[in-house]
């Protein structure tokens, strides 16, 4: 899959500030709620082009009750989501060749899902969300300019809606350095600039059922 994170997006690519400063964790961060993912994806070193961890979900129907697989992976600065080696496509095992809905989660951006099912098999498939809002379920993606689209930033508490409560994720960690949910622009420090990400997307909600 290909998608851009609005918070890290600059001039056609995403910044790798978290990675460059050594703040990305070596272990997948989606073990807590609302994801409660118990995967053991981890690395000894993080490839230099990685922006952050992403959680991928496959569904046979739109509801979360039809989730058949999950994997944590990396998103590179060019928007391509790759396996934890930093280059290969993300792979799933013990699944049939068939149509799936593709769901993408990020810890402080609104989740997205493919607008329709995608046929997946042993051959790599590229699904480019960045081309048009119509690529996402509900046709709701952030306009990044120049005909490029991405995931809405600003959901600092990861509850699926950008609202005034997300200001707390910034305010409670103001001037803290590290891997923080309130670091909405993914530069490794929580500061007043992160408030702008919530401001610009206030009352946006995820369209993923």
134-168: pLDDT as tens digits = 999 999 999 999 999 999 999 999 999 999 999 99
Question: 10 Å Cβ neighbour count for 14?
Answer: 24
Q: Which pLDDT band, with edges at 50, 70 and 90, does 33 fall under?
A: very high
Q: How confident is the model at residue 66 (pLDDT cuts 50, 70, 90)?
A: very high
Query: Strand locations in the chain, DSSP E?
Result: 4-5, 9-10, 13-14, 50-59, 67-76, 81-82, 98-106, 109-113, 118-120, 142-145, 148-151
Work out the burial of residue 21: count CB atoms within 10 Å of its CB; fewer than 13 is exposed, 13-18 middle, 19 or more buried.
middle
pTM (two decimals) = 0.97
Task: Return the CA Rg of the chain.
Answer: 16
Q: What is the average pLDDT value for the chain, to the nearest integer?
A: 97
Burial 157-187 (b: 16+ CB within 10 A, else e): bbeebbbeebbebbeebeeeeebbbbbbbbb
The per-residue pLDDT for 57 is 98
Write down the residue that tokens 């990396």 correspond to: 74
Instruction: Measure the CA–CA gap between 110 and 153, rounded to whole angstroms.
Output: 6
What integer pLDDT is reported at residue 188 of this predicted model?
97
Could you tell me the CA-to-CA distances from 33 to 38, 105, 164 in Å, in that order?
A: 11, 12, 20
Both tokens of 177, joined, read 């350095």
Q: pLDDT (tens digit, 9 = 90+) per residue, 46-64?
A: 999 999 999 999 999 999 9
The average pLDDT across 88-96 equals 94
Residue (of 73, 56, 77) closest to 8 by Cα position: 77
Average pLDDT estimate for 92-113: 97
Beta-bridged to residue 102, according to DSSP, are 58
pLDDT digits (tens, 9 = 90+) for 173-206: 999 999 999 999 999 999 999 999 999 999 999 9
Mean pLDDT of 12-37: 97
Whole-number pLDDT of residue 207: 97
The pLDDT value recorded for residue 209 is: 95
pLDDT of res. 2: 98
What number of CA atoms fall less than 13 Å from residue 55's CA on the CB side?
26
């Amino acid at each position: 899959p290909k998608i851009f994170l609005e918070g890290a997006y600059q001039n056609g690519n995403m910044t790798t500030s978290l990675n460059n400063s050594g703040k990305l964790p070596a272990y997948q961060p989606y073990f807590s709620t609302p994801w409660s993912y118990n995967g053991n994806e981890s690395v000894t070193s993080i490839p230099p082009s990685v922006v952050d961890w992403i959680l991928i979900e496959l569904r046979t129907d739109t509801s979360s009750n039809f989730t058949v697989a999950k994997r944590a992976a990396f998103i590179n600065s060019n928007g391509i989501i790759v396996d934890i080696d930093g280059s290969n496509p993300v792979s799933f095992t013990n699944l049939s060749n068939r149509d799936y809905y593709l769901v993408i989660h990020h810890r402080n951006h609104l989740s997205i899902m493919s607008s329709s099912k995608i046929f997946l098999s042993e051959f790599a498939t590229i699904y480019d969300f960045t081309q048009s809002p119509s690529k996402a379920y509900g046709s709701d993606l952030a306009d990044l300019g120049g005909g490029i689209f991405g995931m809405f930033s600003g959901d600092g508490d990861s509850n699926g809606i950008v609202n005034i409560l997300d200001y707390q994720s910034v305010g409670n960690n103001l001037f803290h350095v590290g891997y923080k949910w309130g670091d909405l622009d993914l530069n490794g420090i929580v500061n007043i600039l992160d408030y702008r990400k919530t401001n610009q997307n206030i009352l946006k909600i995820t369209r993923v059922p």
